[in-house]
Amino acid sequence: MDLLTNLDIGFQAALSLHNLTFCFIGVLVGTAIGMLPGLGPLATIAMLLPLTYALEPVSGLIMIAGIYYGAQYGGSTTAILVNLPGESSSVVSCLDGHQMARKGRAGAALAIAALGSFFAGTVATLLIAAFSPVLAEVAFLFGPVEYFAMMVLGLTAATLLAHGSFIKGVAMVLTGLILGLVGADVNSGTYRFTFGSFSLTEGIEFVAVAMGLFAFTDIVANIRSNQARDVASPSLRNLMMSAKEFRQAVFPVIRGTAIGSMLGLLPGGGAMISSFASYAVEKRVSRHPEEFGQGAVAGLAGPEAANNAGAQTSFIPMLTLGIPSNGVMALMIGALMVHNIAPGPFVMVSNPEVFWGLIASMWIGNAMLVVLNLPLIPLWVRLIQVQYWVLFPIILVVCCVGLFSINNNVVPIYFAAGFTVLGCLFWRMRAEAAPLLLGFILGPLMEEHFRRSLLLSRGDLSIFWHSPLSVAMLSIAAAMCLVILLPQIRKGRKAAFEEEA
């Protein structure tokens, strides 16, 4: 009964005209952004984050969440029609989705992707509603020692799952941790790392970091992407699957939903890892693995379900524990902090309309996406053909206006420009910026829990080995580092990265 009561609170919040409008805007923008190569959800949310200052917390979070899972839908459209993934999690969909399009089954491929994603999103949202309260109850048992250990584990996992060199991943996390310490000391209030600048006394503006590392860096990286794209436009009369295709898609969708739901919970996990894992599973269990890469329905249906399930279950650790599992969830925590809402298990108690309103909006948003994606295919086809040099001046102006609107000050724009230079440097070095953002968000929280632990133990570090949970999480983090540093595995990661590059 508690679940039904909570969902009633959520639907009352989500079904208001105001929040329905922002849900629609979120999924529409997310679909469009997911289709445009070079503009992922992370960069887009970074651009739009300043808008949440003027919105109610639940409205801002509903819009940001809609952009995130809407991008998973949109990315599959370009993957199928153009063989060009608009979103990284849609790379796998190119393999069989585009082959179906070349065989004249583009409409069926789009229908499989949309309906599989809708099913996975619906199930994943149900899991969030069912298990978030349970996980939040467990989180109430955590003290500063356990929270510190959990953040260490989360950052370690995010570093290991980042693309490329493990050393670069560690360096990015440490850079984020250091940047997060700029400003007032958490205990004494003494200013540190400000270099006498009044602009740094309150710390580095989170929005400026996110926008510089992702939005502006993406503009620089894609500014030469002005090539025309040859798009295979499907017939709107041919959007129905055949009975055979439906049968071939059912079990891959169910398996993909299960895989994505589990992997989405892991720190550093989410949509991309889920889609690759689902494709590998489907190819292994298939009776005809030779058909994969030639237009196999299972090779499209499974990954599409997995990436949407993974995207949505990644909200669970963010909402209940205050731990972001990926860069987008770090931005979600930033949006909560903008409205003075402390992320973690207390959100469910102190702001139930925000927590349950966000969950209820996911069902509504997934239904909107099915309605949007199929009938509006001609519009999406035209959008894909827009050249990037037309888009980037508009994006740049919107970003600068958003940064100025934070405090009616140009300083955040200067910070964003500086982080753009850093972002371009990281891009040239093949160093992923998302671990830096996770470190920047978790750095002050880690310091706070670490120092609280030492206050409780009067400076004795052995307190971290007195808690079984802390010992388990720190041991897992250490074991993960040892495994990845084994010469054979390190050599394999390096070879894979050079091949990707």
pLDDT tens string 133-163: 777 677 667 778 887 887 787 777 767 655 5
Contact (CB, 8 A) for 314 and 326: yes
Phi and psi torsions of 131, nearest 5°: -100, -20
Contact (CB, 8 A) for 35 and 77: yes
At residue 53's C-alpha, the angle toward residues 51 and 57, to 5°, is 105
Contact (CB, 8 A) for 301 and 255: no
Identify which of 475, 498, 435, 424 has the alpha carbon closest to the alpha carbon of residue 167. 435
Contact (CB, 8 A) for 22 and 59: yes
Is 235 within a domain?
no
Helical packing angle, 57-82 and 2-14, nearest 10°: 80
Contacts of 156 (CB under 8 A, 6+ apart): 267, 477, 480, 481
- Evaluate the CA torsion angle 114, 23, 362, 15 in order and state its sign: negative
Number of domains composing the chain: 1
Q: Is residue 316 predicted with pLDDT exceeding 50?
A: yes
Cα 234–chain centre separation: 30
State how far the Cα of 501 lies from the Cα of 497, in Å rounded to an integer.
6
For 170, the token pair is 């560690």
Q: Is residue 228 predicted with pLDDT exceeding 50?
A: no
Q: Is residue 307 predicted with pLDDT exceeding 60?
A: yes
Number of helical (H) and strand (E) elements in the chain, helices listed first: 23, 2
Q: Is residue 128 predicted with pLDDT exceeding 50?
A: yes
State how far the Cα of 22 lies from the Cα of 62, in Å rounded to an integer.
7
Q: Is residue 353 predicted with pLDDT exceeding 80?
A: yes
Amino acid identity of residue 432, one-letter, is: E
Residue 466 burial by Cβ neighbours in a 10 Å radius (0-12, 13-18, 19+)? exposed
Amino acid identity of residue 311, one-letter, is: A
pLDDT on residue 65: 84
Contact (CB, 8 A) for 71 and 369: no
Is 262 within a domain?
yes
What pTM, to 2 d.p., does this model score?
0.68
Is 371 within a domain?
yes
Is 234 within a domain?
no
Contact (CB, 8 A) for 3 and 130: yes
- Compute the mean pLDDT over every residue in the chain, rounded to the nearest whole number: 76
Is 233 within a domain?
no
- pLDDT, tens digit (0-9, with 9 covering 90-100), for 68-123: 778 777 777 777 776 665 565 666 777 788 778 777 777 788 888 888 888 888 88
DSSP state of 184: E
Q: Is residue 491 predicted with pLDDT exceeding 70?
A: no
Is 346 within a domain?
yes
For residues 472-487, average pLDDT: 77
State how far the Cα of 333 lies from the Cα of 210, in Å rounded to an integer.
12
Identify which of 315, 302, 264 has the alpha carbon closest to the alpha carbon of residue 116. 302
Please report the DSSP string for 342-372 in residue order: --STTHHHH-HHHHHHHHHHHHHHHHHHHHH
Q: Is residue 176 predicted with pLDDT exceeding 80?
A: yes
Q: Is residue 210 predicted with pLDDT exceeding 80?
A: no
Residue with tokens 């440490």, as numbered in its chain: 174
Cα 313–chain centre separation: 10
For 483, the token pair is 């495994």
For 257, the token pair is 């939903």
Identify which of 71, 53, 52, 70 has the alpha carbon closest to the alpha carbon of residue 61. 52
Domain that holds residue 451: 2-138+146-227+245-500
Residue 378 burial (CB count, 10 A): 11
Is 237 within a domain?
no
Is 305 within a domain?
yes
